[in-house]
Chains A and B, each alone.
Chain A
Amino acid sequence: MQPLVSARRYLENAGISNLLTSAWRFRHYIGGAILNTFRARLARSRLGAVWMILNPLALVAIYALVLSVFLAGRLPGLEGRFSFAIYLTAGIFAWTLFCDLLTRGVTLFIDHANLIKKVAFPRISLLLTVVGVALIDNLMLLLAVILIFGVLGHWPDAHILWLPLLVALNLGIGLGLGLLLGVLNVFIRDIGQVVPVVLQFTFWLTPIVYAHEMLPPAAQTLTAFNPLVPLITSYQDVMVFARAPQPLALLELTLLAILLLALAQMLFRRASPEMVDAL
């Protein structure tokens, strides 16, 4: 007779923890869930998949047109009529992925409470579905951005090859923070209310619509503690100024991403047994 396993072990075998192996076992589900998200989003629309590129294109085009007319050439160190529009678009592109991952992560478990309470499946697959959807959305946005940049006469050069690394760092930070807050939000629901407000603040404390040098020195020391500053400026370096990102910024971001992911993963593991009880 085989020995009895402890209850905790049984749960792990059932696929709740053991993140990577269970994620691999459910790869078809995750793939299907990503596909179905887009299918459901585009169902019953005549243009279907065309909207996937049309929506971000419209967004970027509005920024570019409006800003190049009203706020042309007010950025230090940048020449050209469309420079501000290009600068802003790069910042928005970086911010959108971070914001997307964070907001979806925070409500991830609450949104899928019913499924989590009724079906035994690895919860990590919900998270990976969100990652997949966010990355595809981000890719569509990137295509739109490049298209608009081209129209404005600012074809990106070889420095754009830095982008995959920056997206990966952005992903690590957004995902880590999103998962961390998402787990806590199951138990402390106020988090879901606070996050959007804090995000708004952070947006304005990050040099997206302004340049870092435009801030008064006092404010510059304040934003020094904003971990998104190196992320956004790296994006801007690559996409706007056609230069390599600061090595120090990359190091900071890498450490931050690793730290957040490790913390989130640990919290997720420890909270897992009690998560269903609180949903």
Chain B
Amino acid sequence: MSLLSVRNLGKAYRRYDAEWQRVANWFGASHSPCQEHWTLRNIDFELNPGESLGIVGRNGAGKSTLLKIITGIVAPSEGQIELRSPNPSDTQKGRIAAILELGMGFDLELTGRQNALHTAELMGFERAHVQAALPEIAAFADIGSYFDQPLRTYSTGMQARVAFAAVTAFRPDLLIVDEALSVGDAHFQAKCYERIAAFRAQGTSLILVTHAMSDVIVHCDRALLLRDGRLVGDDTPAHITNLYFDDLFGHSCPVTAAPAVDPQPEGASTHSDFDTADARERFHTRPGYRKEEHRWGEGGAVILDYRIRAAEVEYPACIESGTMTEFAFRVQFERACASVVPGLLIKTLDGVFVYGANSLVVRSGRTGGPIAVGTGARRVFRFRLPLALNGGDYLISFGISAGDQTETLIPLERRYDAVIVHVSRALPFWGLADLDATLEVDGASAA
């Protein structure tokens, strides 16, 4: 039997011409609101004990409202919601712990210990009960003697540690986490997820709202996708994150205009070869395309289209770290050139160059001298590399230049930060590049 049932849930925010009409309605009047905005509608799902559910969606999709309704902060306007006991013989309802924001109700003048105690009391626990758990809270927060100093002397990370330790001091039946762990460092996050995993092993269900798709893939058994307040997907995390990326960066919408003159049948595009025959500009229609790209150059060539392929999947929403990945792009040349140089650049979201290469640098896989093109020629360039990166989002730039030396290249067209790709990695490491370390241990163990 499920722990949580949500049936046909909806939330409307109502506005009135005058607020006294709202007040009068509480006492039996029936003024109709002048404006009614549904932030959630027709939400149905079940959550089983021990199950871990991710909720994704763009900003304003209704994720937070849904969490607040489940938590009991916001009243739903229609529908039903039920929290059962995880133990069928027990009549006591399940207990929810929600972390919608870390450090709610903290007072900067009080010590970490006093705040931790107060936070747990705010969740309805008895003082003696909390006091018995304080040593354990202090141990988890792991901030040493700071625990008895006023909170105003803390760093943000230290506050987050105390807050998380206090909120999760007692195992709930349902833990709700809304983007809250992003304030801490990676170490802290790992520790939090460790505790969450331990809870889950004991039967706690988890609802996780995050924009980090890797977290959904790693920590969730199932995911929901919300779009404009509607539930549009309830499926495996891998499938839902793909749909989410479609929401975020636009669909791989097939170009419908003038398909008759196009020699390539549109429907076959997922299996068709990416070759020089296609003359249409399709770059901006591909999944992962960013319209915020920086497109520049001297002119003389146009990058028409690109394709990313990893593990037989075209335009993968998520690339498993280390997978051999092909970055191909098609260029239309407007004038002849004795030597053109295609290039590829990978950056992190905050702009760190991870890797860049061009045909002058890449030696293997291609023989022969300069790449010469004639007027009106079309070429497809394919870079292949194992994407041995840490989990996260990366920006891809494509470029085509003229020249034969890296120092004197003339950029014909460059499309910087034009594509976003997501790399997932089950076992993260520190940093960006997987340098593939091995480990040997010398000396036999004492036993």
Contact = CB atoms under 8 A, between A and B. Distances in A.
Interface of A: 1-2, 4-8, 10-11, 13-16, 25-26, 28-29, 31-33, 36, 39-40, 43-44, 114-121, 184, 187-188, 267, 270-274, 276-277
Interface stretch (B115-123, B277-285, B393-401): B115-123
B419 to A, nearest CB: 37
Given A7-B81, A32-B117, A120-B96, A15 B72 contact: yes
7 contacts: A4-B80, A4-B82, A7-B9, A16-B72, A36-B114, A40-B110, A119-B98
Contacts of A114: 104
B104 A188 contact: no
Contacts of B96: 120
Category for how many chain B residues contact A: 35 or more
Contacts of A16: 72, 75
Nearest to B101: A118
A148 B386 CA distance: 85
Contacts of B191: none
Given A2-B82, A6-B80, A40 B107 contact: yes
B122 A187 contact: no
Interface in B97-138: 98, 100-101, 104-105, 107, 109-110, 114, 117-118, 121-127, 130
Contacts of B114: 36, 39
Contacts of A1: 1
B19 interface: yes
Interface of B: 1, 5, 7, 9, 13-14, 19-20, 22-23, 26-27, 68, 71-84, 93, 96, 98, 100-101, 104-105, 107, 109-110, 114, 117-118, 121-127, 130, 150
B121 A115 contact: no
Closest 3 CB pairs of A and B: A14-B72, A273-B75, A270-B26
A102 to B, nearest CB: 19
A32 B113 CA distance: 13
Given A4-B7, A39-B109, 11 more contacts: A7-B75, A32-B118, A36-B107, A39-B114, A118-B104, A119-B100, A120-B71, A120-B98, A184-B23, A274-B14, A276-B73
Nearest to B84: A2
A188 B24 CA distance: 13
A267 B25 CA distance: 11
Given A11-B75, A14-B72, A43-B109, A5 B26 contact: no
A125 to B, nearest CB: 9
B195 to A, nearest CB: 20
A267 B26 contact: yes
A8 B127 contact: no
B150 A119 contact: no
A36 B14 CA distance: 37
B223 to A, nearest CB: 24
Given A7-B80, A32-B121, A118 B100 contact: yes
Contact of B19 (A14, A28, A36, A187): A187
Given A7-B79, A14-B72, A26 B104 contact: no
A42 B104 CA distance: 22
Contacts of A15: 72, 124
Nearest to A277: B13
Contacts of B26: 267, 270-271
